[in-house]
Amino acid sequence: MFAQMTPAQAFARYEAIRPRLPNAGAPGAAQKVASLAEVSALFDAFVFDAYGVLNVGDQPVPGARQRIDALRDAGKQVIVLTNAASFTRLQTDAKFKRLGFDFSPAEIVSSREVCEQQMTTKGTWGVMAPDGFQTDELSVKSLVLEDQPDAYRNAAGFLLLSTAGWTAKRHDLLCSSLKQNPRPIVVANPDLVAPREDGLSLEPGFYAQDLQDKLGCAAEFHGKPFPSVYDEVERRLSGIAPARVAMVGDTLHTDILGAQSRGWGSVLVTDHGLFAGLDVGPFITQSGIIPDWIVPTI
C-alpha cells in the first residue's frame, strides 16, 4: 500500500505533521563534536534512543557499549528511551543483552510499557500486533487485528504496537471500521520510520497519522516526542535538573524536538540512523529544530 520511504520523504512527512507534535523549546547551536566524551562534563544523565544510536536493526553500533561504560565510570546515569513497542519488558531486556549491553530494567523506559500503564478504556482492544504476540501480554483484554472484519467491528479501541505483518487490507479494514464507528486509537510507537539494515521501515506512527489525515480523528501517542515517556524518565532521574539531562538520538522530530520540549540538552547522531550518509545541515535549517551538539557516533 505504502512504498518504503527515503530519509528525505520521511523528513517531509514529519514536517507535514509538525502541528500535531509538541512545541520545541529553545534551539541549540548545532556544535559539532567528535563524541559524547567532549560534552559529558555538562550533564549528569544521558538518555539514549536505541535504533540508529545504540543499534541498527539487530546489530549494535560499534563502540556503543564502550561509551555507555565510560559514562557510567564517570558517574553519569544512563537510560534508554525506546519507541520500539513490539517487545514486552522481558523481550526488551533480552534484546539489549543480545546486543551486548548490560542495562538494568530501571535503565530502560519503553513507550509500550508507559502506554500500557495509561490505558483506561474498558472492553476488548484490537491490536496491531507483532509476530508471536500473545493476548495475555497486556493487562487489558485484546485480540489481534488480522483479516477478519468482525475483529475490527468488535474492538472497543485500537492499540498500535507493531507494523510487522500489517497489510493494505488490514489498514483499509481499520480505516473503514473507524469511519463507521469512531473509537480510541492509542499508539505505543509514534515513529513514522525506523532505520534497519536494509533501509527505513514504516512504523505505527506512520499509519496512525494516515488515519488522522483521512478521518480527522485524534490518536493518543505514547513515545518520543510525546510527554508521557518523558514524565517517566524524569521520575526515574528524580533530583537531576532537566538542563543536566542530555537526549542522544538520530531524528530531529522525535529525539531532538522531544528533548527540547522538556528543557533537556540534545545531541544528534548522524552516522547510523535516519541521516546516515547525508548532510544534516539542510534538514536542520528547514525544520528549525537545532540540536545543541552533533556527533557522528556516540
- At 17-56, the pLDDT tens digits run 999 999 988 999 999 999 999 999 999 999 999 988 999 8
Of 235, 229, 231, nearest to 249 (Cα)? 229
pLDDT band of residue 2 (cuts 50, 70, 90) is low
Ordered domains of the chain (ranges, CATH): 13-114+224-295 (3.40.50.1000), 121-221 (3.40.50.1000)
254 Cβ partners below 8 Å, 6+ apart? 49, 83, 190, 191, 223, 224, 225
- Whole-model pTM? 0.93
Provide the pLDDT for residue 3: 54
pLDDT tens, 211-262? 999 999 999 999 999 999 999 999 999 999 999 999 999 999 999 999 999 9
pLDDT (average), residues 100-112:
96
